[in-house]
Amino acid sequence: MAIKRRKSLARTLARWLGRADSEIRVIQEARQIRQVARFAGIFGVTVLIPAIMLAYFALSSIQAEELLVDADLARAADSVSAQIYRDVDSEFTRFEESTTERLRSGQSPLTTLAELSPFLRGAFRFDESGVLAAPFTLPDTVPVPEPPLAYRIATQRGQDAERTGDFAEALAHYETAVSRGAHPAHVGSASYNRARLLAKNGQIRESEEALADVYADFANVREVHGFRLGDLATLKRAEMAWQREPDVGAVALEGLAEELISARWTIGRPGEAAIARRALDSLAEHSDTDWLARARITLDERTRQLFWAEALESELELFRGATMRVSQGEFKYYSRPDSGSLWATLYTGTDLYAFSFDQDAIIERLKENLVHANTLEDQITAWLSSSQKRKDNSVLDRRSLAPWLPFLNVVVQPDNPERLASLKRSKRTRRIFIIVLAMAIAVLGVALSARIVSTELEGARAKADFAANVSHELRSPITQIRLKGEALQLDLVYDDEDRRAHHDAIVREAERLSRLVDNILDFAAIERGAKTYMLRQDDLGEIMHSQIRSARDYIESRGIELSVDIANDLPVIWVDREAVGQVITNLLSNAAKYGSEGKWIGVVARVGLEGIDISVSDRGIGISKEDLRKLFVPFFRSADPQVRRKKGTGIGLNIVRYIVEEHGGSISAESTLNEGTTFTVTFPFEPPSGAGV
């Protein structure tokens, strides 16, 4: 009767635990779980609950005597945090009012940013289609191709000749480069260099005509340093005119400077600013002083904005979508602590304005204000905190600086904990400390104990299963080797063919035993972090054919059809030959073991988008969705009886995943119950960074 009750209890526990183990194993785990629950219950009843009750009564008894001190400190803390909040609010209110007033009066809020706020770094306008409209444009993402070899040789020779003063030879080489160029940037650069050398060679008229052609054909083409060829040609012509007729040259330089200063510059392309600055430097003693000063101020401001715009280029994409367009005339703030940026947006008309503030400078100003506030209040200390945790007993006040800096809080605490402790009596501090510490230790003890016992239980079970599975796996090949060896030793064979069959069986089982031992040793090395691979350029197709030839006899001896489709155009990639062979062998062995019912295994290798894709498929028992999530976990074996009947250690797929990931690749599995499974492995074309090659 007792035996029947025990079996019934074991079946109930197995269903409750979702396990398919033996009755003895289930009962053992149930006993361990009961011991954990008993330990936690006794600890909670005898220690944790009394500790909570004592803490409640101790805290209640001292609450009244602290109310007066707490109220005074709370009022002072609220005053300090409110003042800091008002400072921030006042700064951004002035910015919003100034910006709105400019727009109302028809002025642009994208210039003289210091008048709007001393913390502004840049201002941008996006049109209704989400394109950056002012004051700059985004750079063209189409790269300029590498120039032809003949072009590079001619250009280098021209530069060498120009450095030695042989302008005629340099001119000839640049003319050759013009004919060898394959892209407008190459042809335009060579044409400009040719025009320069004509002037150096004394051919002034020809040089001016050549510069005019450069401007006509390549005005908006940028050379390798980012300068527009049209601007370079105009500057060169103006400087040549300056040498002949200073008044005419001055007019040309002033026009060029004004045109460039008022133009829309391209982010990341400082060429326009550099050319405008050179033009202004040339006009230092020949232009109106007031005009020159205004031009320099405008140029300096635009140059600073261009510098910040380049630093903020990646963030400008955030403001191109329609989601940023809130109510008309409403300012909205976006803080980015990771990049030190604070953005304000304003949607007016059909345009979206985005303003970038120096968030770090704002925070430094707030810290200065906090230092000043702390000198006025001797019992409290205020500081900035980025922590979002709830207020604890030591914090008097916590005020968020949202919407401008939502990740920051003004936190106010007592200035001198010892003085406050003496006001509230030293016993209170000791009692609270002891109570909190005891409670923390009690809770931590329960949690850690339960976790340790649970972890040990799961670990012991996994190791026991692994040991049993390994023993079972080792027994079969060893038994076969022993039987075949004894038959040969005792000469219990019929003829030479039978003897050869015995030898083949010994070799086959020895190879199987060797693979099992290699898997166990590799897994141990992986667990220790000592397994490394040396990647070399190798033919993956040849490796696959070699491994398939080795496994074909074993697979076909089990009545399984092996279909192989390996593309002939597989490129040479970086792999560890033995490790990749182990991957192929493990996947084929796995398919033969669990897909034998389908009598078919398919291997396909193709060139994919990210590397070489290898698929190993079978038409076997399949894998459930729940088991697919745990498939590559060490020691995992499904509770499905069909799987349990198969021999296995639970480490093969874990080793496969490790090898593939060490190659920088990926592995995935797709399966349908009772229909089959497909494993797909991708090896990348290039080795991962840091890999041993």
pLDDT tens column, 363-379: 999 898 888 888 877 77
- Structural domain count, the chain: 3
7 inside domain: yes
Query: In this structure, are 654 and 536 located in the same domain?
Result: yes
Q: Is 462 contained in some domain?
A: yes
End-to-end alpha-carbon separation of the chain, Å?
A: 68
What is the mean predicted confidence (pLDDT) over 673-689?
88
Q: What is the CATH number of the domain that holds 275?
A: 1.25.40.10
- Per the rule left: phi > 0, alpha: psi between -120 and 50, beta: everything else, 559 is left
Highest-pLDDT range among 94-108, 281-295, 375-389: 94-108
- Residue 547: per-residue pLDDT: 85
Q: Which CATH number characterizes residue 673's domain?
A: 3.30.565.10
Distance CA 646, CA 551 (A): 19
User: Are 77 and 158 contained in the same domain?
Assistant: no
The whole-number pLDDT of residue 615 equals 92
Pair (165, 288) in one structural domain = yes
449 & 592 share domain: no
Per-residue model confidence (pLDDT) at position 2: 47
Residue 139: inside a domain = no
Of 128-132, 202-206, 465-469, which has the strongest mean pLDDT? 202-206
Same domain? For 539 and 604 the reply is yes
Phi, psi of 572 (to 5 degrees): -75, 130
The answer to whether residue 414 sits within a structural domain is: no
Q: What is the dihedral of CA 679, 682, 683, 686, to 10 degrees?
A: -170
Q: How confident is the model at residue 20 (pLDDT cuts 50, 70, 90)?
A: very low
What does pLDDT average to over the chain? Answer: 79
* Burial class, 291, CB count within 10 angstroms (exposed 0-12 / middle 13-18 / buried 19+): middle
Residue 205 CA to residue 375 CA, distance in Å, equals 75
State which residues form the domain around 590: 532-684
- Which has more pLDDT, 37 or 582? 582
| Cα distances (Å, whole numbers) of residue 1 to 8, 13, 28, 335, 655 | 11, 18, 20, 72, 47
Same domain, 181 and 78: no
Global pTM reads 0.48
Instruction: Determine what percent of the chain is predicted with pLDDT higher than 70.
Output: 73
CB atoms within 10 A of CB 257: 28
Question: Which domain-ending residue is among 250, 267, 297?
Answer: 297
* Domain annotation covers residue 441: yes
pLDDT at 248 > cutoff 80 = yes
208 lies in some domain: yes
Take residue 266 and report the two structure tokens written for it: 């391209």
**In this structure, are 290 and 192 located in the same domain?**
yes
Q: Is the pLDDT of residue 71 over 60?
A: yes
518 within a domain of the structure (yes/no): no
pLDDT of residue 383: 83
Q: Give how far Cα 5 sits from Cα of 8, 9, 134, 263, 556, Å.
A: 5, 6, 83, 91, 48
Structure tokens at 148: 């032809």
**What pLDDT score does 586 carry?**
84
Burial class of residue 364, CB neighbours in 10 A (0-12, 13-18, 19+): exposed
Asked if the model's pLDDT at residue 184 lies above 80, the reply is: yes
Indicate whether 646 pLDDT > 60: no
Picking from 297, 326, 359, the residue at the C-terminal end of a domain is 297
What six digits make up the tokens of 87? 């400072």
Q: Are residues 39 and 162 in the same domain?
A: no
Distances (CA, A) of 281 to 248, 286, 293, 295: 16, 10, 11, 11
The share of the chain scoring above pLDDT 90, in percent, equals 10
Does residue 633 lie within any of the structural domains? yes
Whether residue 153 sits in one domain with residue 88: no
What is the tens place of the pLDDT at every residue in 472-522?
Answer: 555 666 776 777 676 677 776 677 777 777 676 677 667 666 666 666 665
The per-residue pLDDT for range 524-567, each reduced to its tens digit, is: 555 656 567 788 899 988 989 888 887 887 788 788 888 999 99
Question: What does the H/E/C string look like for 506-530?
Answer: HHHHHHHHHHHHHHHHHHHHHHHCC
One domain, residues 157 and 53 = no
Q: Is residue 538 located within the same domain as residue 608?
A: yes
> pLDDT tens digit string along 350-365?
888 999 998 889 999 9
Closest CA to 680 of 668, 691, 689, 662: 668
- Provide the 3-class DSSP secondary structure of residue 603: strand
Compute the residue count for the chain. Answer: 693
Residue 441: pLDDT over 80: no
Of 265, 281, 297, which residue constitutes the final position of a domain? 297
- pLDDT > 80? residue 251: yes
Q: Are residues 57 and 191 in the same domain?
A: no
Mean pLDDT over 130-146 rounds to 81
What is the number of other CB atoms lying within 10 angstroms of the CB of residue 493?
A: 16
CB 598 within 8 A of CB 676: yes
pLDDT tens digits along 607-624:
988 899 999 999 888 888
Using one digit for the tens of pLDDT, what is the confidence trace for 76-89?
888 888 888 999 99
